[in-house]
Amino acid sequence: MLSDEFVINYHITEKCNYACRHCYAKWKIDNNQEIHRDMTQVEILLNRLYDFFSKRSKRLRLNLAGGEPLLCKHIGQIIELANSIGFRVSLISNGSPLTEKFIRSHAKQLSMLGLSIDSLQPSRLKKIGRLSKCHQYLSAQHWFELIKLLRDSNEALLIKINTVVCQFNYDEYLGDFIDQITPDKWKIFRVLPLDNNSVRISNEAFSLFLDNHKQVTTPCYIENNEDMTESYIMVDPIGRFYQNSSVHNGGYTYSQRITEVGIEQAFNQINFNLDKYHNRYILRRQSHEC
């Protein structure tokens, strides 16, 4: 198992300031168990991940996700620690907690920043749950200003936009906005319903979204549900490998905790398909030009 780069997705916390109906960050754990509260445990976990996967890849990227990872008190320390260990570091955020202070302090320590943008329309954002408890949402103008600040703070920073296509946005056109903010990558996911069938979409609805955006010039990467199964290396907030499963009704399978049983034993307890992993990084301009 040798790869040019492995991306390890460390989901730091389940906590989030949004309540998206399609959210997959549901591990049914007590937040007090999340190991980000103890930086000693985080350091043990990250060192074990690096030692194990660095033997299997030329480069390693630690992708910090959630929930919303910027709600983690020690997020700055975790970014700095991961860099010092040898990881390239990326982060996925809904954008709302991204402050100028954080960007000025940490943008240069990131190789990529993923921003989750599913809609630009308040009525759709409300249906999805992509707004705060005070019903605040991020406007297109806010996104423009935020991305400019990020690029001003780190010219080498890659910007990725993640869009989950679901029941409430499959017929929305985002193409002009995407091309105007010029991200390095636009990743389009078909909603993975897990326990919430209300956001599920048909093959026709997903195809409609892709067809409507076939003239977008930004590089597109498309992931259907099958593409997401057993193709990610993921660690949950309490330090277990976990995997999307086609066996457990679209739910998750888990390993034991890496810090308790060791990384090799834990990794062997989940399924990981290297070919499917590599296929996710292929630019998708085959059946749908996007």
Quick: pLDDT tens for 250-280: 578 999 999 999 999 999 999 999 888 888 8
Question: 271: which residues sit within 8 A by CB, 6+ positions away?
Answer: 230, 243, 245, 253
Ramachandran category for residue 144: left, alpha or beta (phi over 0 → left; psi -120 to 50 → alpha): alpha
Domains and CATH numbers, the chain: 3-279 (3.20.20.70)
pLDDT of 53 strictly over 60 = yes
pLDDT classification of 285: cutoffs 50, 70, 90: very low
Model-level pTM?
A: 0.93
pLDDT of 286 strictly over 50 = no
